[in-house]
Chains A and B, each alone.
Chain A
């Protein structure tokens, strides 16, 4: 089979790092049909394709989404084949520092330089996957629940009925404030409750920023969870329970490569 060589392609787009000490050719499964293959150093193997030394960029959302999906599908395929993959973010392209260095050398030098860190990360993520967990609540239901539970709010509500329209307006404002304070207090309580219940099924956990939802719900908790394969079911059961609670809903996606657990330098138990 004639292989298309990209002579001006001095860049190496890196999808991730896996294990293995041999170059493996994976076929044209990369971004825009690029030939994906591995570059080994010792027992770590970078998953790459050849590309020009400029980043992939576009103002076309669909094109970017397709690139991102392909990036992910390459990691899926290599994960299946090799077991463990350290994912890199989109558009990480290695380039030779000078004309004397070949693109292959740059990849190998990087693997050599980062070898200890890469092995450390692999140890950490082996047999585990990342899951996204988001817990949201229905604000209307929550307000109802608060009104029933909170003594103070019930009192204010009772007083409104007996007031003149002007005074009732003041009381309604007072009520709104009280509901807001109570919601915040409850949200803190829920947060630590759910967080604790979810955390015990994970090996590591990252609290992400919550997002504004456009379905009228309020996101309470946005987590990235590193979960051992044998613990996924128990996490699912826990989430099911939260999802069944009145007014709450859970979004549970994965398995993803552990994107959220490879970025920071690893601090070992000895505190190195």
Chain B
């Protein structure tokens, strides 16, 4: 069996080594790259499974950002539901319970027609 190089399959081996290994130099002398997002997200995905990335916190920021967006979205929706009902359709809140029932009936008939 002959070792291979310069194929797509060996690119991962190369990236694993060049990006994560090699001789380490005294940190006082070098530019500190720690904490700088050096690589694209796709390349990280290429190098490690998502679980590994979460485990080592690489995706933590991304994950937290996604969660924050989702939480904001939910909050906005809740607020819309509370405030928009009278805000967007003020006439509706002025209707008597009977009118509202009629309106609902009317609306549902419309829907059926469509």
Q: Which positions in A face B, CB cutoff 8 Å?
A: 11, 14, 16-17, 53-55, 57-61, 64-65, 68-69, 71-72, 86-95, 97, 106, 109-110, 113-114, 121, 130-132, 208-209, 211-212, 224, 232, 236-237, 239-240, 243, 250-256, 259-260, 262-263
Contact = CB atoms under 8 A, between A and B. Distances in A.
Given A64-B43, A110-B29, A253-B10, A89 B19 contact: yes
A82 to B, nearest CB: 16
Given A65-B11, A95-B31, A132-B13, A254 B21 contact: no
A86 B42 contact: no
A16 B17 CA distance: 13
Contacts, number: 141
B24 A55 contact: no
Contacts of B114: none
Nearest to A89: B22
B40 to A, nearest CB: 4
Contacts of B41: 59
Contacts of A251: 9
A102 to B, nearest CB: 14
Nearest to A243: B1
A91 B23 contact: no
Nearest to B48: A211
B40 A95 contact: no
A89 B4 contact: no
B31 A253 contact: no
A133 to B, nearest CB: 9
B2 interface: yes
Nearest to B20: A89
A60 B40 contact: yes
B15 interface: yes
Interface size, B (range): 35 or more
Contacts of A53: 31
A54 to B, nearest CB: 7
Given A91-B33, A114-B25, 10 more contacts: A16-B23, A55-B36, A61-B46, A65-B15, A71-B18, A95-B29, A110-B26, A132-B17, A208-B16, A253-B3
Contacts of B28: 97
B3 to A, nearest CB: 4
Contacts of A243: 1
B83 to A, nearest CB: 39
Contacts of A110: 25-26, 29
Given A59-B40, A236-B2, A251-B9, A54 B31 contact: yes
A259 B21 contact: yes
23 contacts: A55-B38, A61-B40, A61-B42, A61-B43, A61-B46, A65-B43, A72-B14, A87-B23, A89-B19, A94-B25, A95-B31, A109-B29, A110-B26, A113-B26, A114-B25, A132-B16, A252-B1, A252-B2, A253-B10, A254-B5, A254-B13, A260-B21, A263-B24
Given A61-B40, A68-B18, A72-B14, A253 B1 contact: no
Contacts of A208: 16
B90 interface: no
A253 B9 contact: yes
B92 to A, nearest CB: 48
A259 B30 contact: no
